[in-house]
Amino acid sequence: MKNIEIEQKLSQINLQNYSLEELNTNLQLIKEKYVEKDQQEEAKQIWVYQRILEIHKLYVKAFSLLKNKQYYKGWCVLEQIEITINSLKRHFQYNEKEYYLWNIEKSVLNLQVIFPYKLFNSIEILHKSEKCSICGKIVKIRNLCEHIVGEIYNGEMCYREVVDAEILNVSLVENPGNKFSVFFLVDENTGEQIDQYNYDDIDYLFSIINNPYEQWDLEVSQQVVTKNDYGNIDRNDLCPCGSNKKFKNCCGLNIGKKYPHYEFIVNNPNYRAILSNTIKKK
């Protein structure tokens, strides 16, 4: 398979008319031949193609997880996509039309915006020693190897595997280094994790889009809750949310608060939809 053929296949990836797995196996074999002959640039180019495939594989997986309400698992795959895109961008600058990557990048960002996760556990770790993924040497501050993290050697990206580490500190933050450690509550009696989040916005979006390659976009604006949002209601009436509290002591407290307002823009005009977030609904 020549590079031009590979690029042709990858440019039709959104049609989903071939197996990504099979193409990846072919690419791996081609890459191994280049590595045997020490053709570093050629092997690196195949690594780039493989990352493009990987991003699409993850994107299709995230779509099906979220469509099936596996929110946290889907969230983690979105984070994997973000990380893979960042490692690809170091070696391949794509434009708006190439391999649908720009669309994936935008969709991942938009999904991260509408996800209800806003607080994360941030774990500060002291790496005492690490192993180079290319040469296997144990790397310490005064004992480095010649490989640079993020560079491509023999068609593989160099990373450091942590061999010995010490946890220094765990804290809750809004902008973590990675977004895997979502903050969940724990049931005091059973010790089981509770998912305390409201996923209405995600459910709403995935009730409209049916294919990972269906295009959609998001517009976010700030709105203020007004009394009119609750219709003709007296302050002393029972709250319409069903809490059995008086309106003034429940949702009435939200009046005047700002909340993000999401508008999804989709291809099907019947579904051009306005959606408000959870502050207003609770």
- List residues binding Zn ion (CB under 5 A): 132, 134-135, 145, 147, 239, 241, 243, 250-251
Give me the helices (H) in the chain, please. Answer: 3-11, 20-36, 40-67, 71-89, 101-114, 200-208, 278-281
- Closer residue to Zn ion (CB): 146 or 192: 146
- Closer residue to Zn ion (CB): 137 or 179: 137
- Closer residue to Zn ion (CB): 60 or 145: 145
Q: From the CB of 67, what's the least distance to Zn ion, in Å?
A: 30
Q: From the CB of 262, what's the least distance to Zn ion, in Å?
A: 21
Q: From the CB of 156, what's the least distance to Zn ion, in Å?
A: 11
d(CA 219, CA 72): 23
Angle, in degrees to the nearest 10, between helices 71-89 and 40-67: 160
- Closer residue to Zn ion (CB): 39 or 133: 133
Q: From the CB of 146, what's the least distance to Zn ion, in Å?
A: 6
CA distances from 271 to 2, 88, 135, 216 (A): 43, 34, 54, 11
Residue in the structure block whose two tokens are 């596996």: 70
d(CA 23, CA 13): 11
